[in-house]
Amino acid sequence: MSVRTRFAPSPTGRLHIGNARTALFNWLFARRRNGSFLVRIEDTDIERSTKEFEKAILEDLRWLGLDWDEGPDVGGGKAPYRQSERLSIYRSYAARLVDNGLAYNCYCTKERLEGLRKTQLAKGKPPRYDGRCRDLASSVPPAGIEPVIRFRVPEKEIRFIDGVHGELSFDTSAFGDFVIVGSDAIASYSFAVVVDDALMGITHVIRGDDHLSNTPRQILLFDALGLRAPSFSHIPLVLGANRLPLSKRERNASVSELRDGGFLPIAVTNAIARLGWSPEEGLLRLDELASGFALETLSNSPAVFDVERLKSFNREAIKIMDDDALFASLGMDERDVLFKEAVLEIRANASTLSELKGLIGSVTGAIVYNEDALAVLSEPYAKEVLRAFYSEAARFDLLDGLAYNKIIGEVKKRTNEKGPRLFLPIRYALTGRKEGVELVNILKLIGKIEALKRINRFI
């Protein structure tokens, strides 16, 4: 059997970290088994779905390096790949269930259903439809009400083997007859996904634990339609630092926020791959992650998204990033050789590209001298250090590493200063900061003329 997995996002928001992990695990499983990975857009939520979100989700997937074999933008033998373009297919399958007595029209109003729900909750019972329209004669439907179609749920226990949790069972008495097509003729999620997964030949469904309660309903629908159900694997939800389910409102909760924050794709995929899975140590390429991926190795415990761990992966990714790509990402294609050398040395201090830009900007941008800096720079010993540094630096054409070592050596001899009393006045004069980029790299970044100009200001 050829493996076919899918990622089916709803275009109602940005690609969330948890959803990105779902996409990654489905991609890894398909690639590990030499199978196919599909993208299907579940856009039946007419009010909230937008083309802009769909485009953004696809862009984020590509940025992560997750390509797909079939999808809305690449086509395939099971098209269309947007649920909004498959409504007639769902209606035909719903009609088949009604004709076979496995589903029925329900004319209950929203007001009645809301009242029923409140009554059941007040009695401490789980809300479920009471079956009022189950045996309603089709020849005398209530006037003026567009019906929904409900699936006639049999009383039974549903058992299945979950790829992560093992054998699970659900009693159908817990949920009752459920809607498969709304009064607006739009198929429900559970019904549409069953028809799509079957017709698209999906063999394995890997998704979050929040879909676990949908699974028994979907298995009933597969059976009623005479369709083959895929294997299900439900992965625990991703938690934030507060140990609560990761919210879209949290910072760095979406892939686009991470990309805009200066994180690299390989770092993000390595971080989210370890949310419920433990591949080999180190920064791994997608093909390396795929080679070791197996459902039986996934954890059934919730995973915490750790931004600091992501930063450590990103720091490694920046270190091994192609030099030209690094310069291009920083907008430095036309910089001089010494400047690029300084950037390559500074890169090890940055955990994101944004942080690297900030380090460079703190040296090459506008300088602000705070009270602490001005206090040090007004000291007599500091001025003596700066005078010695100026006269020694002026003797060199380029302030490279070799020149820096000679300059500092001579300044130390002339002033008898060392440690902070030697280096702090120079650093404050050049950057206005107590800490940051190493002095030798500061000189490479700003060059001799600018360095002497900044030093001279405090002599």
Structure tokens at 400: 């490279």
Instruction: Collect all residues with Cβ–Cβ distance below 8 Å to 36 and sequence separation of at least 6.
Output: 2, 3, 4, 5, 30, 69, 70
| 367-405 core/surface letters (b: 16 or more CB in 10 A; e: else) | bebeeebeebbeeeebebbbbbbbbbbeeeeebbbebbe
Annotated catalytic residue 418: no
CA dist list (Å): 296 to 14, 111, 233, 237, 277: 30, 46, 10, 17, 10
**Rounded distance between C-alpha atoms, residue 108 and residue 115, angstroms:** 11
With residue 207 as reference, give the H or E element that holds it.
strand 204-208
The 3-state DSSP composition of the chain as helix, strand, coil percent (nearest 5) reads 50, 10, 40
For residue 289, the SS3 value is helix
* Residue 29 exposed, middle or buried by CB count within 10 Å (0-12, 13-18, 19+): buried
- Dist. CA 437–CA 328, nearest whole Å: 21
Within 8 A by CB and 6+ apart from 33, the residues are 3
153-164 burial, b if ≥16 CB within 10 A, otherwise e? Answer: beeeebeeebbb
Q: CA 329, 332, 336 angle in degrees (round to 5)?
A: 150
**Active-site pick, 118, 248, 319, 434:** 248
Q: Which residues are catalytic, by number? A: 248
